[in-house]
A and B are shown apart, each in its own frame.
Chain A
Amino acid sequence: MGLYVDVARRRSVLIVRLSGELDHHTATQVRQRLENELSKEIDTNLVLNLEDLTFMDSSGLGVVLGRYRQISQLGGQMAVCSVQPSIHRLFEMSGLFKVFSFYENEEQAIQACGVAS
């Protein structure tokens, strides 16, 4: 259990892959890590890959929404990809599906952030 955060970069996109369980306890770790990465101001866009995220609750919604606000202030875009059905339901319930963009896989999410070239 617990949560593992894997970070990669491609041009102006920070790619964050979360695996494990995202709850109140592990949300702190995600927030600190991503705030730290985004404060380096290398990246203007963020892709969140949730393929290996096996559990998430409303604390996870909070931390995802928080990063969306952070990246929006930097003038960038955020895309979320590979969301499992149980977690998909939470995004729908909270209305966040209308707020940021969701994609089937990481490649599509990266392309959507406008770094095709």
Chain B
Amino acid sequence: MSEVHKNFMELSFASRSENESFARVAVASFISQLDPTMEELTDIKTVVSEAVTNAVIHGYEEKTDGVITIRTYMEGHKVSIEIVDQGLGIDNVDEARQPLYTSKPELERSGMGFTIMENFMDEVTVESQAGQGTKIQLVKHLKTHQQTIQH
């Protein structure tokens, strides 16, 4: 048996809302080497969009001089995505993860971001400190083509 396929990428970009689509497309493009299903790709695009949007709106409160970093690791059919910001942080992570909770109701937010991440991914970990920033780690085990990558 060949060894487990491993790969890694990192990218950093300004906390501008137009980078939300760039971020989800970049991660989906990187993941595509694992030959995911369309549904898996859509799931991953959606959760990256949610996490980056949280960083833009809540982490940096739409200020465009912040930096958002995404690291994506793959090991076999397991994909791990970290979305990191050095923004305001989340005071109460448990509260933020509640369905329909939003700290900014005036912005017409649905409060479904974390719920979508939890539904579409196998693991969601949130590390946050007030004033320091937030790191969201998302893990998904792809169903298909686990060991078919050629070296």
Binding site for B on A (CB under 8 A): 1, 21, 23-25, 27, 31, 55, 57-59, 61-63, 65-66, 86, 90, 93-94
Give the distance to chain A from B97, nearest Cβ to Cβ, in Å.
Answer: 13
Give the distance to chain A from B38, nearest Cβ to Cβ, in Å.
Answer: 8
Interchain CB contact under 8 A, A86 and B112: no
Question: Which residue of B is nearest A94, CB measured?
Answer: B112
Binding site for A on B (CB under 8 A): 17-18, 20-21, 24-25, 39, 42, 45-46, 49-50, 53, 56-57, 99-100, 107-113, 115-116, 119
CA distance A21 to B24 in the complex (A): 12
**Of A24, A58, A65, A86, the contact of B56 (CB 8 Å cutoff):** A24
Interchain CB contact under 8 A, A93 and B112: yes
Interchain CB contact under 8 A, A62 and B119: no
Interchain CB contact under 8 A, A61 and B21: no
Interchain CB contact under 8 A, A55 and B45: yes
CA distance A65 to B111 in the complex (A): 11
**Of A57, A86, A94, the contact of B49 (CB 8 Å cutoff):** A57
Question: Which residue of B is nearest A92, CB measured?
Answer: B119
Interchain CB contact under 8 A, B53 and A93: no
Interchain CB contact under 8 A, A62 and B45: no
**Of A23, A55, A58, the contact of B109 (CB 8 Å cutoff):** A58
**With A57-B46, A90-B116 as contacts: A25 and B108 at CB distance below 8 Å:** no
- Which of the listed residues A21, A23, A66 has the most CB atoms from chain B within 10 Å of its own CB? A23
Interchain CB contact under 8 A, B57 and A58: no
